[in-house]
Amino acid sequence: MTQENNEKTKDKLRIQRTKEGTIFEIVTAILIVILWIIAIALYNKLPDTVPTHFNLSGEADGFGSKSIVFIMAGLNTLVAILLLTTAYYPQTQIRTPFRIRNNRQYVPLIRMVRCLAVVCSILLTGIVIRISGNPVGTYLFTAALILLFVVCIFFNIQAYRLRK
């Protein structure tokens, strides 16, 4: 397929709201609300200076203001909105390591960005929990980081297989 034909195919792609997409949006919204509740609940309990970076051993090696919990919650909200919006404009917003040859390839890529919105919310929640000193945050962060790579690889393989 030539680039010209590929551009014409992209123009025909219209993403409609689906039950699956709505479920991902609701789950992401719930996770965002949970993170904001955690950030608000922790803020007054945290010391003025909190760990903001941890080495591979789990020891704090960077410190900053406790307002970082609100920065993380705000960052989570922004990233989630961007990722969920991207699902409705995949032909212009999603980049792949391979050429998109047909619109069917966008289906797994749309699922990928929706999954990434959930995974990023879990990841940032893990960071905020870890900042509070709770080791559960480390496990959440680690699991979400691994899941982030798995999701990207899995859905890119799925999209690549649909190239024919």
What mean pLDDT do residues 25-37 have? 97
115-156: per-residue pLDDT in tens? 999 999 999 999 999 888 888 988 999 999 999 999 999 999
65-95: per-residue pLDDT in tens? 899 999 999 999 999 999 999 999 888 888 8
- pLDDT confidence tier of residue 41, bands split at 50, 70 and 90: very high
Q: What distance lies between CA 59 and its chain's CA centroid?
A: 25
Positive or negative: CA dihedral 148, 154, 155, 157 = positive
Report the candidate in 130, 124, 139 with the shortest Cα–Cα distance to residue 35: 124
d(CA 123, CA 85): 19
| Mean confidence (pLDDT) of the chain | 88
- pLDDT confidence tier of residue 15, bands split at 50, 70 and 90: confident
Query: How much is the pLDDT for 164?
Result: 78
Report yes or no: 117 and 139 within 8 Å, Cβ to Cβ: no
Query: How much is the pLDDT for 11?
Result: 55
- The SS3 call for residue 49 is strand
- Joined together, the tokens standing for residue 79 give 């990233």
- The SS3 call for residue 50 is strand
- Joined together, the tokens standing for residue 30 give 């719930």
